[in-house]
Homo-oligomer: A and B are copies of this chain.
Amino acid sequence: MTSVALVDDHELLRTGLMAIINSFEGFKVVMEADNGKQFTEKVKSKTPPDIVLLDITMPVMDGYETSSWIKTNLPQTKVLVLSMLENDTAIIRMLKNGARGYILKDSKPKVFKDALDSIRDSGYFINELVSNKLMHYINHEEVFEGDAFALNSLSENESTFLKWICTEKTYKEIADEMCLSPRTIDTYRDNLFKKLDVKTRVGLAIFAIKNGIVNI
Contacts and interface: CB of A to CB of B under 8 A. Distances in A.
Interface of A: 9-13, 15-17, 19-20, 23, 105-109, 112, 165-168, 198-203, 205-206, 209-210, 216
Given A19-B20, A20-B19, A206-B216, A199 B168 contact: yes
Stoichiometry (number of copies): 2
Given A16-B20, A206-B205, A209-B209, A105 B10 contact: yes
A21 to B, nearest CB: 10
Contact of A12 (B108, B167, B199, B200): B108
A167 B106 CA distance: 25
* 3 tightest A-B CB contacts, nearest first: A16-B16, A19-B19, A10-B106
7 contacts: A12-B107, A13-B105, A15-B16, A168-B202, A168-B203, A205-B205, A205-B206
A103 B197 CA distance: 38
A12 B15 CA distance: 12
B198 A12 contact: no
A209 B210 CA distance: 10
Nearest to A165: B202
Contact of A198 (B9, B15, B168, B202): B168
